[in-house]
């Protein structure tokens, strides 16, 4: 689309709602993070000096950053691999000749989804051992279902008349897939990826049980030590990350999805 | 030209054919409407031409752009489809693509460059009487009628000699359907495509078709002929029932006013005086005459009794005509217009409101009566 809009024009077009939509979540999240950071600083209060000095040493700013980075890494790798496998799988089960497998594939993915995440971690710990690899494998398995399902649903929901018109005008099956089906299915597919990523933020916290690192480390270390602030830091930051990932992907979706598909 | 030779389609898992030993030929530049009750295989018949459905037996030939008659079953289906215009009922415009990109679908597949696609799209929008602003819009921003026009434009984008249209106006309200039908007929007079046009509406089949192919359940061809001949000589009871008891009236749809009108209606100039006008009418035994400007534009009419004993210009006594019939109107619409205003005579004008003739109920009556006896003779003469 050749719509040339200057920055000023775009600025003027912004409604109050737009501004709210863009700012509320990040501002809230920044406030929460500052509060968490203050909790860490407050750890050096005089009356309970001893206990909290240990606390502050353990949950130092650098530790928090490292854990956050680990968490992000777990999610990026697992979701990325899931997209790489689930999108082709989702496409495949909508192709003629493979439709019969669609029930089977979705069924298996469904079962995978209904097994509790902690159980999957425990199961594969035996096979893959402790560490990030096992966690990534479990997260990957978890992310598959929403993406496969949404890819297949998105493609199947494309108006059959549109496909018929495309076929009748002489598009090859490949052209129909790449130029018609995938662009039209994209909003639904992307929603699946978004769901998978957000679920993974929470599930990744469990990775700490098998030594995968991430924000969950603060929680599972804090529980036996009865260190509330440590638990809170882990829990709150995980929640903040889930909200932010969802928000960022929401904005990406707005960008990527063609104006027509939303109308 | 599109030729069917003993074409049969039996869907897997069924014993009775959907299309049964169908043979007919659509001459180049003509519209053939395929009509019949639901389940008669009309869409199946059409889709076998571009092989969206593969025939079980028989051959289908299509005249390609180089004037060669080719067996579609021996062509690559993808290339075959690109060479045939295709328009379907739900239009199937690509919602994520602009009008320009939609119209450019087949040109793009054929490897046209962008500038050429844009030029062609602009040309087609002009042909459809649509503003060029539409090029960068998306289908959902258009009305149903506009989308249908784009559907047709997309179908003719590469100027294919043969087109398939599957109930193209089926989802449009009656008023707009009528407009679109007339527009399409006007367009067809310019582009002269060979068209297979599927419809379930016998009135549409009669109006749009140069030939009508009437199918019965099980894909049996009941009659293949011109609309006039089918109406005057239905082949059997099925066709007679299908075209309806009002087939004599339907024939009015096939005749245009200019075919029966008196092209020398009584005319008076607005600048003549009353005395001259009275003389003119008495001489010819008329009770009225049309009044025109210097350039034949219709101003209205004057009645003899209004003028009797008066002096002055004709202009002062003109009554505006409540209705005038446009050239190209069918007798059915003309008669309906006359009944509405209760005129026995009505003036025929061209697009610039210039007087071209006069029709009255008597001429229409004569046309119906004559067509019964003469049409068949004419048809044979033409062929």
pLDDT digits over B224-235, tens only? Answer: 999 888 888 888
For A190-207, what is each residue's pLDDT tens digit?
999 999 999 899 888 888
Residues of B in contact with A171 (CB under 8 A): 78, 105, 109
The pLDDT assigned to B371 comes to 62
Task: Select from A168, A172, A184 the Cβ nearest to the Cβ of B96.
Answer: A184
How long a stretch of residues is chain A? Answer: 263
Asked whether residue A240 is domain-assigned, the answer is yes
Site from A174, A182, A260 to mutate, B interface, most B CB atoms within 10 angstroms? A260
Beginning with the edge strand found earlier in the chain, give each strand of the sheet holding B288-292 in spatial order. B267-269, B288-292, B298-303
Interface with A, mutate which of B46, B92, B151 (most A CBs under 10 A): B92
Those of residues 148-187 in A touching chain B at CB distance below 8 A are 159, 161-172, 175, 180, 183-184
Rounded Cα distance between B198 and A168, Å, is 15
**Which residues are registered as beta bridge partners of B213?**
B34, B224
Q: Please answer yes or no on whether A170 and B106 come within 8 Å at the CB atom.
A: yes
Task: Judge whether B92 is closer than 8 Å to chain A, CB to CB.
Answer: yes
pLDDT at residue B28, as a whole number: 92
Q: What is the pLDDT of residue A46?
A: 42
Quick one: pLDDT at residue A258?
55
Question: What pLDDT is attached to residue B122?
Answer: 94
Token pair 């003028």 in the structure block, residue: B307
Nearest-by-CA chain B residue for A162 = B92
pLDDT of residue A18: 73
pLDDT of residue B383: 41
Residue B379 pLDDT more than 50? no
The DSSP code sequence of chain A is ------HHHHHHH--HHHHHHHHHHHHHHHHHHHHHHHHHHHTT-GGGHHHHHHHHHHT-HHHHHHHHHHHHHHHHHHHHHHHHHHHHHHHHTTSTTTGGGHHHHHHHHHHHHHS-HHHHHHHHHHHH-SSHHHHHHHHHHHHHHHHHHHHHHHHHTS-HHHHHHHHHTT--HHHIIIIIIHHHHHHHHHHHHHHHHHHHHHHHGGGGGGT--STHHHHHHHHHHT-HHHHHHHHHHHHHHHHHHHHHHHHHHHHHS-HHHH-
**Mean pLDDT of the B156-172 span:** 90
Burial of B28 (0-12, 13-18, 19+ CB in 10 A): middle
Quote the number of domains for chain A. 1
A96 within some domain: yes
CATH number among 3.40.50.300, 2.60.40.10, 3.40.190.10, 3.30.70.2860, domain B2-83+160-254: 3.40.50.300
The two tokens of residue A166 are 């495309």
pLDDT digits (tens, 9 = 90+) for A164-190: 999 999 999 999 999 999 999 999 999
**Residue A119 is part of a domain; what is its CATH number?**
1.10.3720.10
Q: Which domain holds residue A120?
A: 61-262
Whether A170 sits inside 8 A of B92 (CB atoms) is no
Nearest to B136 among A2, A164, A165 (CB): A2
Report the complex ipTM.
Answer: 0.73
Domain ranges for chain B, please list them. 2-83+160-254, 258-366
Among residues of chain A, what percentage have pLDDT more than 70?
A: 83
Answer whether residue A36 is part of any domain.
no
Shortest Cα–Cα distance, A30 to chain B (Å): 37
Please give the average per-residue pLDDT across B3-23, as a whole number: 90
Pull the structure tokens for residue B92.
Answer: 């199937």
CATH superfamily of B258-366: CBS-domain (3.10.580.10)
Looking at beta carbons, which residues of chain A come within 8 Å of B86? 165, 168-169
Residue B26: pLDDT over 90: yes
Any chain B CB within 8 A of the CB of A260?
Answer: yes
pLDDT attached to residue B111 = 92
pLDDT score of B381: 45
Best residue of A168, A181, A256, A258 to probe chain B, by most B CBs closer than 10 Å = A168
Asked if residue A32 has pLDDT above 90, the reply is: no
Closest CA to A204 of A101, A80, A72, A95: A72
Reported as a single tens digit per residue, the pLDDT across B350-365 is 888 888 888 888 888 8
CB contact under 8 A, B52 and A170: no
Q: Which of A24-28, A186-190, A236-240, B140-144 has the lowest mean pLDDT?
A: A24-28
Residue B278 pLDDT: 86
- Please tell me the distance from the alpha carbon of residue B279 to that of residue B338, in angstroms, as a whole number: 28
pLDDT of residue A11: 67
Residue A114, in any domain of the structure: yes
Distance of alpha carbon B44 from alpha carbon B34, whole angstroms: 11
User: Per the CB < 8 Å rule, is B91 touching A165?
Assistant: yes
Residue A8: inside a domain, yes or no? Answer: no
């Amino acid at each position: 689309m050749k719509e040339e809009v200057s920055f000023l024009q775009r600025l003027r077009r912004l409604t109050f709602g737009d501004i709210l939509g863009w700012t509320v979540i990040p501002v809230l999240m920044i406030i929460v993070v500052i509060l968490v950071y203050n909790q860490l600083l407050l750890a050096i209060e005089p009356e309970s000096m001893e206990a909290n000095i240990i606390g502050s040493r353990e949950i130092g700013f650098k530790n928090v950053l490292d854990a956050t980075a680990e968490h992000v890494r777990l999610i990026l790798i697992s979701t990325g691999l899931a997209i790489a496998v689930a999108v082709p799988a989702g496409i495949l089960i909508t192709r003629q000749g493979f439709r019969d497998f669609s029930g089977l594939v979705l069924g298996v993915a469904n079962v995978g989804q209904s097994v509790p995440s902690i159980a999957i971690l425990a199961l594969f710990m035996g096979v893959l051992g402790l560490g990030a690899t096992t966690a990534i494998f479990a997260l990957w398995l978890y992310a598959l279902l929403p993406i496969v399902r949404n890819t297949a649903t998105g493609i199947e929901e494309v108006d059959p008349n549109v496909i018929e018109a495309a076929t009748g005008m002489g598009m090859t099956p490949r052209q129909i897939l790449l130029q018609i089906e995938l662009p039209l299915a994209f909003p639904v597919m992307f929603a699946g990826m978004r769901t998978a990523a957000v679920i993974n933020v929470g599930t990744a916290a469990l990775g700490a049980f098998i030594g995968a690192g991430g924000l969950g480390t603060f929680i599972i270390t804090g529980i036996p030590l009865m260190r509330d602030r440590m638990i809170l830091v882990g829990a709150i930051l995980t929640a903040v990350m889930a909200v932010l990932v969802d928000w960022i992907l929401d904005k990406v979706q707005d960008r990527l999805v063609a104006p027509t598909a939303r109308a | 030209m599109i030729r069917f030779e003993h074409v049969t389609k039996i869907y897997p898992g069924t014993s009775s054919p959907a299309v049964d030993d169908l043979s007919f030929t659509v001459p180049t530049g003509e519209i053939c409407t395929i009509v019949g009750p639901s389940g008669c295989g009309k869409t199946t018949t059409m889709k076998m031409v571009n092989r969206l459905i593969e025939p079980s037996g028989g051959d289908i030939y299509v005249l390609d752009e180089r004037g060669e008659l080719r067996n579609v079953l021996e062509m690559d289906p993808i290339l075959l489809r690109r060479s045939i215009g295709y328009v379907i009922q739900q239009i199937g415009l690509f919602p994520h693509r602009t009008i320009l990109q939609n119209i450019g679908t087949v040109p793009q597949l054929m490897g046209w460059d962008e500038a050429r696609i844009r030029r062609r799209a602009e040309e087609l929008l002009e042909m459809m009487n649509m503003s060029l602003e539409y090029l960068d819009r998306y289908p959902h921003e258009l009305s149903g009628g506009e989308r249908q026009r784009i559907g047709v434009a997309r179908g003719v984008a590469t100027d294919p000699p043969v087109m398939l249209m599957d109930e193209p106006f089926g989802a449009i309200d009656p008023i707009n359907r009528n407009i679109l039908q007339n527009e399409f007929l006007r367009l067809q007079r310019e582009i002269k495509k060979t068209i297979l046009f599927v419809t379930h509406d016998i009135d549409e089949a009669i109006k749009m078709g140069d030939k009508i192919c009437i199918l019965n359940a099980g894909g049996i061809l009941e009659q293949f002929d011109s609309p006039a001949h089918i109406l005057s000589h239905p082949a059997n009871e099925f066709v007679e029932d299908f075209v309806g008891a009002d087939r004599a009236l339907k024939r009015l749809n096939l005749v245009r006013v200019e075919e029966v009108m008196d092209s020398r209606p009584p005319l008076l100039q607005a600048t003549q005086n009353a005395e001259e006008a009275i003389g003119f009418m008495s001489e010819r035994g008329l009770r009225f005459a049309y009044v025109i400007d210097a350039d034949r534009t219709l101003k209205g009419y004057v009645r003899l009794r209004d003028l009797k004993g008066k002096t002055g210009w004709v202009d002062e006594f003109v009554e505006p005509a409540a209705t005038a019939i446009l050239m190209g109107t069918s007798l059915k619409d003309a008669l309906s217009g006359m009944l509405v205003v209760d005129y026995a005579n009505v003036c025929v004008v061209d697009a610039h409101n210039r007087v071209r003739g006069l029709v009255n109920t008597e001429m229409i009556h004569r046309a119906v009566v004559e067509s019964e006896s003469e049409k068949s003779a004419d048809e044979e003469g033409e062929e």
